[in-house]
Amino acid sequence: MLFLMLTPAVVYFIIFHYVPMGGVIVAFKYFEFDKGILHSPWVGFKNFSFFFESGQAWLLTKNTILYNLAFILVGMVFQVGVAILFSELGGKRIKKFLQSTMLLPYFISWVVVGSFVYGIFNYEFGSLNTLLRTLGMDPVDIYGNPSVWFFIIVGFYLWKLIGYGSIVYLAAIMGINPELYESAELDGANIFQRIRYITLPLLKVTIVIMILLQVGGILRGNLDMFYQLVGNNGLLFNTTDVIDTFVFRALYQQGLDLGMPAAAGLYQSAVGFVIIISLNYIIKKVNPDYALF
Amino acid sequence: MKRKRSKPGILLFAMLAAVLIFAGCAKNNSGSEASSSSSPSPEASATSSASASASPSASTPSGPDISKKVELSMYLPSDGAPDAKLIHDELNKMTERDINATVKITFLSNDAYNLMLSSGEKFDLIFAANYMNYQDNARRGAFKEITPEMLSAYAPETAMEDKDKLAGGYVGGKMFAIPTLAASFNYSAYVVRGDLMKKYNVPDIKTIDDFGVYLDAVAKNEKSMIPYNMGKNDAWTLCALYFGNNNLMAPGTPNCTSPIALKKDDPSLQLVNTFDLPETTAFIKKMKQWKDAGYWSKNALSNTVTLNDSFKNGKNAALITSIPGANNIYNEVNKSHPEWDLRVYPAFQGPIDRYSYMAGGMAIGAKSENAERALMLLDLLRYNEEYNMLTQYGFKGTHYTINEKGDIVFPADSKYPPNAAGTWGWTNETYTRVFDGSFPNYAELLADAKARYEPNPLVDFSINAKEISEITTNLSNLFTQYAGPLYMGFTNDVDAGIQEYKDKLNQAGLAKYKEVAQKQIDEYLKSK
């Protein structure tokens, strides 16, 4: 009976995740319209060369990994922090209000975020520079200054996803037996001690699993975000370009060549697969309870 | 956390998955077999018609057989027009009468266009153009070859057309599309505000430097305006200005983003690296001066508002655009702001290039079963005045009228405005009218373009990038990252910036790209 209930999910995964996986062969083919995926001629690893011969492969891989590490680690710290804050907060109404406010940015499209980022940092008429000018200070040229963009991007990522990401942790905290807190309180533990010795240790499993899940996608850039915030501004590419934006840009003008984007995607997935398998293996060695599988 | 799953459970899951995978495959196979076996007639008829078309002149001298009624499908990349349905109904009445066929026209976006080609869908007619990667799509087998026999049997008027006008449709010696019958020139014009010129005593614009004088006057005096308020995708207007004024052309690409170029006055047509030319450095130095003087925004590269839009809103004082582009903006702005007194000046000096006629055209789908009828329809759309005028301009009296000068007049909120319904694939100069309300020196500029036009042997050439696609991909990416910002003057040190770009180009394989391009050009010229 339980397996019957599982069937829809299994069917879904097979149709939309396993069958399309066969399409990965297009990464090794010169795609021709009339022949389709199956009958197009093989070209070996040629489709991969555009990425590795661009002279940017290392920079892009490095940027992608660094950004994702920042998102995962800094994001985790903030999300856990916010979750703990909400769990300890009294006052039902204010709590609900704050929680909704935190969640709201998640539903704003990056397109919209991109346009108000431009509205803030625009040199001539942006709100930041207008403010600086009225205060008698020199305006700053954000769009000509690549080094600040790491912070802008991470900042907006946090702003948008903290509320949403904290829900999982909040749920885990709600699952902690309240008796633990009561007895700790009776023993004289203050709020920080309770967080330090009860909440955090019990959240550890959730945190490790959440990190593991995200690490699998460590070579995937969030195209939506990077493209909407940075766009085609070549001046900023050295600090903001990730694999996804590079591939998108490289192939957008070229008409539809299925082979090259498929090759780039395969590279990202393969590296992500290796990373998650080895990380899981290590964690299993250290503490089998924390491993994903 | 449920850490432990039962072994048999996993096994069962795996088996279920395996069974479903195989079932899925099996179903797929039988499905495609079933569909191919259940519809044998169209394929059979296609092969028979193909064999018939191979020797039409011998067997059917009395014209093609149209006894069987067919429905053609046509795809046009366009947003369409409100009254398009009415026009299509009328068109269908005519096609039923003349060639015993109806045509179902579907509009689609540019992205859907690419997806449709890659999905291998069956269709009869589709718009194609070199800016939409016509040659590459043709090489990838998206279109059906139009043989000379087919052309003379089913599209006799097209078959008799000048070789020169059809040349753009050939890819690797085979014809895959029929180009339009309208020449468009690579001729840019400055569109500027006459009221500002008068106010600040700016003389007429004849050269790039004169244009700079105008921009300077606006930058110094109009604090709420940015003189040339470029958006993020407008860098090409500057490099076009550079190419157009220095008699340069890029081989096989319709614009100036190529890092290699030909000097058109060099009879040997040898490719040079654009960024090796001293003129390039000089031009970019000038652009840096312009940028530093505030002629465009410091964040132009991230500005999402186009030049046209900010011009219409009065935030931008100048445009560099084609003659039709200038006409469109003039039409629009002259109604809302006649006091702006728009003026249009030619922006290129020296000889003028023509684009390939393949800047628009129609192709037949690779899997089309009605290629003959599709060709007959194309011949009608291209050469029959009734068909051409109906599809291009709509119903006379409702969608357009002709005034006493012979110019075409459109009502204010036309439900079938010109150039909206995706009919660019069969434009014919013979039936194209001058729009009423064109800018005053419109005809003069058109005549100027024709007078200065110098035929160019490579106008229809396109690089076959199959073997070097990774290089072309990276080169176009490098334009966005380095050359675009350079042309817009975004660099602290021009020489160092150019050197960095050149280093990146060499890393990406510029030398090989140049060598392959040169070889293909030489072969192309020999075969011509």
Residues forming a β-bridge with B402: B408
CA atoms within a 13 Å half-sphere pointing along the CA-CB vector of A231: 18
Query: Inter-chain contact A34–B477, Cβ cutoff 8 Å?
Result: no
For A11-22, how does the pLDDT look when each residue is reduced to its tens digit (9 = 90+)? 999 999 999 888
pLDDT above 90 coverage of chain B, percent? 56
> How much is the average pLDDT of A222-240?
90
CA B184 to chain centre: 11
Residue type at A10?
Answer: V
B9 found inside a domain: no
Of A10, A47, A143, the CB nearest to B298: A143
B302 touches chain A (CB under 8 A): yes
The mean pLDDT value of chain A amounts to 90
B35 found inside a domain: no
Among residues B218, B189, B188, which one has the least CA distance to residue B201?
B218
Domain boundary among B430, B447, B474: B430
Q: In the structure encoding, which two tokens stand for residue A51, read together?
A: 């990425």
Say which residue, A253 or A44, is predicted with more confidence.
A44
Q: What is the DSSP letter of B284?
A: H
Which burial class, exposed, middle or buried, applies to B85 when counting CB atoms under 10 A from its CB (0-12, 13-18, 19+)? exposed
Dihedral angle at the C-alpha atoms of B249, B252, B258, B260, nearest 10 degrees?
A: -70
Q: Are residues B333 and B464 in the same domain?
A: yes
Q: In order of start, what are the domains of chain A with their CATH numbers?
A: 1-44 (no CATH), 56-290 (1.10.3720.10)
Interface of B with A in 416-445 (CB under 8 A): none
Of B474, B490, B509, the CB nearest to A235: B490
> How much is the average pLDDT of B262-272?
86
At residue B50, does pLDDT exceed 50? no
Query: Inter-chain contact A230–B302, Cβ cutoff 8 Å?
Result: yes
Q: Are residues B383 and B334 in the same domain?
A: no
B167 found inside a domain: yes
Of A3, A18, A256, the CB nearest to B114: A256
Q: Are residues B307 and B403 in the same domain?
A: no
CA distances from B78 to A25, B38, B209 (A): 33, 35, 38
Query: Inter-chain contact A141–B132, Cβ cutoff 8 Å?
Result: no
At residue B82, does pLDDT exceed 60? yes
Domain of residue B361, CATH code: 3.40.190.10
Determine the pLDDT at residue B527. Answer: 83
Determine the pLDDT at residue B55. Answer: 38
Q: Are residues B174 and B286 in the same domain?
A: no
Determine the pLDDT at residue B31. Answer: 36
For A151-186, how does the pLDDT look when each residue is reduced to its tens digit (9 = 90+)? 999 999 999 999 999 999 999 999 999 999 999 999
Q: Are residues B209 and B288 in the same domain?
A: yes
Strand ranges (DSSP E) for B109-233?
A: 125-128, 170-171, 174-175, 177-179, 185-186, 188-193
Cβ proximity of B227 and B297 under 8 Å: no
Distance from CA of B26 to the nearest CA of A (A): 12
Distance from CA of B199 to the nearest CA of A (A): 24
What band does B191 get if pLDDT is binned at 50, 70 and 90?
Answer: very high
Using DSSP's 3-state secondary structure scheme, residue B228 falls into: coil
> How much is the average pLDDT of B179-193?
92
Query: Inter-chain contact B114–A255, Cβ cutoff 8 Å?
Result: yes
Residue type at A126?
Answer: G
Q: Where are the alpha helices (DSSP H) in B293-384?
A: 307-312, 323-336, 371-383
pLDDT above 70 coverage of chain A, percent? 99
Query: Inter-chain contact A124–B476, Cβ cutoff 8 Å?
Result: no
Query: Inter-chain contact A34–B304, Cβ cutoff 8 Å?
Result: no
Chain B residue nearest residue A290, CA to CA: B3
Query: Inter-chain contact B232–A36, Cβ cutoff 8 Å?
Result: no
Determine the pLDDT at residue A256. Answer: 63
Number of structural domains (chain B) is 2
Chain B residue nearest residue A238, CA to CA: B481
Interface test with B, best of A40, A235, A241, A289 (most B CBs within 10 A): A235
Which burial class, exposed, middle or buried, applies to B439 when counting CB atoms under 10 A from its CB (0-12, 13-18, 19+)? buried
- The Cα–Cα gap between B514 and B270 comes to 10
Q: Are residues B469 and B320 in the same domain?
A: yes
> How much is the average pLDDT of B100-108?
94
Q: Are residues B400 and B265 in the same domain?
A: no
Of A11, A230, A258, the CB nearest to B118: A258
At residue A135, does pLDDT exceed 80? yes
Residues of A in contact with B507 (CB under 8 A): 55
B320 touches chain A (CB under 8 A): no
Residues of B in contact with A6 (CB under 8 A): 13
- The Cα–Cα gap between A27 and B486 comes to 34
Chain B residue nearest residue A45, CA to CA: B470
What band does A253 get if pLDDT is binned at 50, 70 and 90?
Answer: low
- The Cα–Cα gap between B150 and B143 comes to 14
What band does A88 get if pLDDT is binned at 50, 70 and 90?
Answer: confident
Of A144, A230, A232, the CB nearest to B490: A144
Query: Inter-chain contact B133–A254, Cβ cutoff 8 Å?
Result: yes
Cβ proximity of B262 and B271 under 8 Å: yes
pLDDT above 90 coverage of chain A, percent? 55
For B225-238, how does the pLDDT look when each residue is reduced to its tens digit (9 = 90+)? 999 999 888 888 99
For B207-219, how does the pLDDT look when each residue is reduced to its tens digit (9 = 90+)? 999 999 999 999 9
- The Cα–Cα gap between A188 and B10 comes to 47
Q: Are residues B250 and B119 in the same domain?
A: no
B206 found inside a domain: yes
Residues forming a β-bridge with B400: B396
Determine the pLDDT at residue A82. Answer: 93
Chain A residue nearest residue B490, CA to CA: A235
Q: In the structure encoding, which two tokens stand for residue B53, read together?
A: 């078309």
What band does B34 get if pLDDT is binned at 50, 70 and 90?
Answer: very low
What band does A249 get if pLDDT is binned at 50, 70 and 90?
Answer: confident
> How much is the average pLDDT of B46-57?
39
CA atoms within a 13 Å half-sphere pointing along the CA-CB vector of B493: 4
B464 touches chain A (CB under 8 A): no
Of B132, B136, B480, the CB nearest to A234: B480
Query: Inter-chain contact A50–B473, Cβ cutoff 8 Å?
Result: yes
Q: In the structure encoding, which two tokens stand for residue B54, read together?
A: 């191979």
Say which residue, B416 or B47, is predicted with more confidence.
B416
Determine the pLDDT at residue B151. Answer: 93
What band does A254 get if pLDDT is binned at 50, 70 and 90?
Answer: low
Distance from CA of B404 to the nearest CA of A (A): 45
Q: Are residues B324 and B383 in the same domain?
A: no
Query: Inter-chain contact B470–A144, Cβ cutoff 8 Å?
Result: no
Other residues' Cβ atoms within 10 Å of the Cβ of residue B518: 16
Cβ proximity of A103 and A278 under 8 Å: no
> How much is the average pLDDT of A90-117?
90
The mean pLDDT value of chain B amounts to 85
Among residues A147, A156, A154, which one has the least CA distance to residue A238?
A147
Determine the pLDDT at residue B16. Answer: 45
For B287-320, how does the pLDDT look when each residue is reduced to its tens digit (9 = 90+)? 999 999 999 999 899 888 899 999 999 999 999 9
Query: Inter-chain contact A54–B508, Cβ cutoff 8 Å?
Result: yes
At residue B33, does pLDDT exceed 60? no
> How much is the average pLDDT of A206-231?
89
Distance from CA of B25 to the nearest CA of A (A): 9
Interface test with A, best of B470, B486, B507, B513 (most A CBs within 10 A): B470
- The Cα–Cα gap between A203 and A198 comes to 9
Q: How many residues does chain B have?
A: 528
Residues of A in contact with B304 (CB under 8 A): 115, 118, 231
Domain boundary among B385, B414, B430: B430
Determine the pLDDT at residue B427. Answer: 93
Domain boundary among B430, B446, B467: B430
Print the domain residue range for B424.
66-183+357-430
Determine the pLDDT at residue B105. Answer: 95
Query: Inter-chain contact A144–B298, Cβ cutoff 8 Å?
Result: yes
Residues forming a β-bridge with B396: B400
Chain B residue nearest residue A202, CA to CA: B1
B477 touches chain A (CB under 8 A): yes
At residue B107, does pLDDT exceed 90? yes
B22 found inside a domain: no
Residue type at B348?
Answer: F
CA atoms within a 13 Å half-sphere pointing along the CA-CB vector of B337: 14
Going by DSSP bridges, is the β-strand pair B260-263/B248-249 parallel, antiparallel, or unpaired? antiparallel
Query: Inter-chain contact A232–B114, Cβ cutoff 8 Å?
Result: no
Residues forming a β-bridge with B226: B316
Going by DSSP bridges, is the β-strand pair B353-354/B342-346 parallel, antiparallel, or unpaired? unpaired
Distance from CA of A153 to the nearest CA of B (A): 15
Q: Are residues B263 and B401 in the same domain?
A: no
Which burial class, exposed, middle or buried, applies to B92 when counting CB atoms under 10 A from its CB (0-12, 13-18, 19+)? middle
Q: In the structure encoding, which two tokens stand for residue A148, read together?
A: 């600040």
At residue B249, does pLDDT exceed 50? yes
Residue type at B437?
Answer: G
B484 found inside a domain: yes
Using DSSP's 3-state secondary structure scheme, residue B248 falls into: strand
CA A7 to chain centre: 30
At residue B32, does pLDDT exceed 80? no
Taking one residue from A and the other from B, the number of pairs with CB-CB distance under 8 angstroms is 144
Determine the pLDDT at residue A65. Answer: 93
For B443-480, how does the pLDDT look when each residue is reduced to its tens digit (9 = 90+)? 899 999 999 998 888 888 888 888 888 888 888 889 98
Q: Are residues B372 and B494 in the same domain?
A: no
Chain B residue nearest residue A50, CA to CA: B470
Of A36, A141, A234, the CB nearest to B485: A234
Q: Are residues B312 and B367 in the same domain?
A: no
Residues forming a β-bridge with B179: B361
- With b for 16 or more beta-carbon neighbours within 10 A and e for fewer, the A20-43 pattern comes to eeeeeebbbbbbbbbbebeebeeb
Interface of B with A in 140-169 (CB under 8 A): 140-142
Interface test with B, best of A21, A31, A54 (most B CBs within 10 A): A54
Q: Where are the alpha helices (DSSP H) in chain A?
A: 2-13, 36-39, 46-52, 57-88, 92-103, 110-121, 127-134, 149-174, 178-186, 191-194, 200-215, 223-230, 237-240, 243-252, 259-286
